[in-house]
């Protein structure tokens, strides 16, 4: 990729994901991505960091178009997924393997990837992220379902299908 083609990826992690965030960020930069690190910062895993503010900030970066996509790292990733999916316009997927990463992008056009730092070895996390970053949205029936999801997000009943 040339400098003008660099895709910006926002990353954030709580205290459980700090080490993996560092490794992931280096890997992303090596792959030609522009990394926007939203925290947490430091190297002390004993400093507890609340994930909701980090998730909100990352999701705002994505919905505002300042970052193409986001990757959040937490211990289990469950709470992070809940928070991210409360932000209108966000479709966050908690992915533990390349299959779920492919489905989250291909079928759900997920714009935020959530990784469980306590359960994923770093090599697998990078493999999952790589699949997620390179899998295109498939459209078709999945586009109709995204429109239905958007209706639910607006407080309307989903129609069609």
| Tens-digit pLDDT profile for residues 60-108 | 999 999 999 999 999 999 999 999 999 999 999 999 999 999 999 999 9
| Tens-digit pLDDT profile for residues 120-154 | 999 999 999 999 999 999 999 999 999 999 999 99
Each domain of the chain, given as residue ranges in start order, spans 3-153
Task: Please name the residues in contact with 120: beta carbons below 8 A apart, sequence gap of 6 or more.
Answer: 20, 96, 128
CATH architecture of the domain formed by 3-153: 3-Layer(aba) Sandwich (3.40)
Mean pLDDT of 28-35: 98
């Amino acid at each position: 990729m040339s400098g003008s083609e660099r895709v910006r990826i926002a990353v954030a992690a709580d205290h459980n994901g700090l080490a993996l965030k560092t490794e992931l960020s280096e890997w992303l930069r090596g792959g030609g991505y522009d990394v926007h690190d939203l925290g947490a910062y430091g190297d002390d895993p004993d400093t507890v960091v609340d994930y909701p503010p980090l998730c909100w900030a990352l999701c705002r970066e994505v919905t505002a178009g300042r970052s193409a996509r986001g990757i959040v790292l937490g211990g289990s990733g469950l709470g992070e997924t809940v928070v991210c999916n409360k932000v209108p316009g966000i479709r966050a997927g908690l992915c533990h393997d390349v299959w779920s990463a492919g489905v989250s992008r291909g079928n759900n056009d997920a714009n935020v990837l959530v990784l469980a730092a306590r359960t994923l070895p770093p090599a697998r996390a990078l493999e999952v992220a790589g699949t997620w970053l390179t899998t295109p949205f498939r459209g078709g029936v999945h586009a109709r379902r995204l429109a239905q999801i958007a209706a639910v997000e607006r407080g309307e009943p989903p129609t069609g299908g």
